[in-house]
């Protein structure tokens, strides 16, 4: 009976090449087709762990935590100055699913700054906004606008404490005119006081009190 010799089964070469091409664990810089580059940890061909991404088109840099290919965890995002080319930090804080989420700080190009909570890339929760004109807002945010209860302190020392809706004073609130030593207590709607009472509050110590005191009822 003749003996038939069957050829030994061999694994296609591309299987081995594919295994070698798998990115898993710490890798040196990997360049994308569009010129972006990433240096850091991988898992199953996805950025996962600690790593730094540089976008060629903008020069922006993200350095921090990754999860299954997306920014997730703690990290910082910076962009180069168009004139000096020096890097300026834009955001430092927590991320989830590639968006700002959790406590974080944003530095705006105008010099303004927000410190507080984020959700889905928007200011939401408790936070403080430092405006270019010297005003400071402390309070609640929703969908990138003051919403809920908060205090706006103006550069001249005057302040409003009360309700907010869509970035405007809305609901019961108090406005302190410290330079005049007076207090307006009432109800606001869309940034306008609709009704209320004005009383003297430390008028004698105010730097610029009105000529006549408000009569007591």
CB 194 within 8 A of CB 188: yes
| pLDDT, tens digit (0-9, with 9 covering 90-100), for 167-213 | 999 999 999 998 889 999 999 999 999 999 998 887 777 778 887 77
Q: How far apart are the C-alpha atoms of 102 and 112, rounded to whole Å?
A: 20
3-state DSSP of the chain: CCCCCCCCCCCCHHHHHHHHHCCCEEEEEEECCCCCEEEEEEECCEEEEEEEEECCCCCCEEEEEEECCEEEEEEEEEEECCCCCCEEEEEEEEEECCEEEEEEEEECCCCCEEEEEEECCEEEEEEEEECCCCCEEEEEEECCEEEEEEEEECCCCCEEEEEEECCEEEEEEEEEECCCCEEEEEEEECCEEEEEEEEECCHHHCCCCCCCCCCCC
* pLDDT above 60: residue 13: no
Instruction: Give pLDDT tens digits for 40-70.
Output: 999 988 999 999 999 999 999 999 999 999 9
Residue holding tokens 């730094």? 52
| pTM for the predicted model, two decimal places | 0.83
pLDDT in tens, 66-100: 999 999 999 999 999 988 889 999 999 999 999 99
For the record, the structure tokens of 3 come out as 């003996």
- The residue-averaged pLDDT of 6-15 equals 57
């Amino acid at each position: 009976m003749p003996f038939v010799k069957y050829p030994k089964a061999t694994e296609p070469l591309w299987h081995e090449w594919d295994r070698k091409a798998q990115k898993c664990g710490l890798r040196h810089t990997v360049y994308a087709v569009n010129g972006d580059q990433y240096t850091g940890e991988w898992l199953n061909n996805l950025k996962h762990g600690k790593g730094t991404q540089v976008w060629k088109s903008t020069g922006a840099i993200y350095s921090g935590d990754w999860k299954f290919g997306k920014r997730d965890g703690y990290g910082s995002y910076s962009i180069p100055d168009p004139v000096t080319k020096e890097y300026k930090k834009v955001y430092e804080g927590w991320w989830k699913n590639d968006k700002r989420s959790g406590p974080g700080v944003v530095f705006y190009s105008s010099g303004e700054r927000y410190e507080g909570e984020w959700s889905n890339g928007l200011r939401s929760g408790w936070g403080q906004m430092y405006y270019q004109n010297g005003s400071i807002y402390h309070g609640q945010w929703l969908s990138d606008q003051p919403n809920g209860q908060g205090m706006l302190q103006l550069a001249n020392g005057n302040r409003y404490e009360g309700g907010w809706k869509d970035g405007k004073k809305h609901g019961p609130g108090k406005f302190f005119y410290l330079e005049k030593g007076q207090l307006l207590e009432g109800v606001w709607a869309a940034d306008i006081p609709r009704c209320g009472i004005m009383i003297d509050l430390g008028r004698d110590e105010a730097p610029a009190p009105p000529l006549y005191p408000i009569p007591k009822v």
